[in-house]
Structure 1
Amino acid sequence: MTNSRPDRESLPYRDCVGIAVFNPHGNVLLGHRKSAGDPDQSAEHGSAWQMPQGGIDRGEDPLKAALRELREETNITSVSLLAEAPEWIFYDLPDDALGKAWKGKYRGQRQRWFAFAFTGDESEIDIAEPDGGKHEAEFDAWRWEKLSRAPSLIVPFKRAAYEKVVEAFGDIPQRFTHT
């Protein structure tokens, strides 16, 4: 019997963006991933709350990709750039998803993370029919949460990456608090 799982080391990382959207109270937007065949949401990996993220198209500027993905996943366009993480943040897929997720082409993701202030009204957020219904919904619920809690709400295989996001953007929530 041969092992059909690809060698992890031979696979590249998928270039991707991650988006931390902060509301006026300094909380970050989290979406709950829909589960149909998603490696981020399964019985093995647990419940998946996460910040919006998505692939960078070939030749696309990462900031433009972040704004596009945010619109495609949440319908949000009213944002102001606060920060960019200083380096790429990586995560590897778990063994059982390797060779299956993203058509088996990648071992995980290499992400550029951006932080934005949400400047619109919450009525703008539409996860059911994002971007005017041009894109399939990726989330079935959303909420505002403390950035520091995000790593405990993400699937375990992304936890270390989210801890780096918290480290990169940890000073942002206090910019919104006026105590």
Structure 2
Amino acid sequence: MNKRYRPNVSAVILSSEYPKKCEIFIAKRIDMKDIWQFPQGGIDQGENPQEALKRELKEEIGTNAIEILAQYPQWINYDFPSSVAHKFYPFDGQSQKYFLVRLKSNALINIATPVPEFSEYAFVEFDKIFDRIKHFKKPIYKQVLDYFKKEGFLSC
């Protein structure tokens, strides 16, 4: 059986203080217990990944005042865990494009959006990020962060 993956974007967001401070934005999902993640969302028909990234950030964190620093070179596929897979039918998982972005100094985060996805957020130091991210995407997040660091896009 061929699996169907929903095209999706995800943002590793650095604070506007970067590179003076190396803090990454994570947010706690409203619909899952103690799940912290990077903002992400689907790519709509006719959108390119950069357009989807800016739209999703505006929808999820109330701002798209960002500077794109880099993108992960490949799409990363993952399957939904069986406990939530029914919510995403007809898709079996997502195919994600990851972006490394920096908030502009005038960016105002507001997670109390018209359709909120997050109950709280934090800027976490690079070496503390996996103290909060413990779910099935942890290996993917590690792969992406390691790439951005190894390639010199992220200096923490």
TM-score range, shorter-chain basis?
Answer: 0.7 to 0.9
Identity of aligned residues (%): 29
- For 1:101, which of 75, 87, 91 is the aligned residue? 87
1:121 CA drift (Å): 4.0
1:150–1:162 Cα contact (<8 Å) kept: no
Distance in 1 (alpha carbons) for counterparts of 2:51 and 2:9 = 10
- For 1:128, which of 71, 91, 112 is the aligned residue? 112
2:36–2:133 Cα contact (<8 Å) kept: yes
1:26 CA drift (Å): 2.0
Distance in 1 (alpha carbons) for counterparts of 2:127 and 2:72 = 16
1:56 aligns with 2:43: yes
Distance in 2 (alpha carbons) for counterparts of 1:172 and 1:67 = 20
Residue 28 of structure 1 corresponds to 24
Secondary structure at the aligned position of 1:157 is classed as coil
Unaligned runs of 5+ in 1: 1-8, 36-40, 130-134
Distance in 2 (alpha carbons) for counterparts of 1:18 and 1:56 = 10
Structure 1 140/86 Cα, relative in aligned 2: closer, same or farther at 3 Å? Answer: same
TM-superposition CA deviations, 1:110-138 (whole Å, max 9, x none) = 1001111111346x110013xxxxx3011
Distance in 1 (alpha carbons) for counterparts of 2:136 and 2:83 = 11
Q: Whose Rg is larger?
A: 1
Structure 1 155/105 Cα, relative in aligned 2: closer, same or farther at 3 Å? Answer: farther
1:137 aligns with 2:108: no
Distance in 2 (alpha carbons) for counterparts of 1:107 and 1:153 = 26
Aligned length: 150
TM-superposition CA deviations, 1:17-76 (whole Å, max 9, x none) = 0011101112111111002xxxxx24xxxx211111000001210011001101110012
Structure 1 114/60 Cα, relative in aligned 2: closer, same or farther at 3 Å? Answer: same
Structure 1 83/141 Cα, relative in aligned 2: closer, same or farther at 3 Å? Answer: same
Structure 1 155/107 Cα, relative in aligned 2: closer, same or farther at 3 Å? Answer: farther
Structure 1 153/89 Cα, relative in aligned 2: closer, same or farther at 3 Å? Answer: farther
1:151–1:162 Cα contact (<8 Å) kept: no
AA of the residue aligned to 2:102: A
Structure 1 148/110 Cα, relative in aligned 2: closer, same or farther at 3 Å? Answer: farther
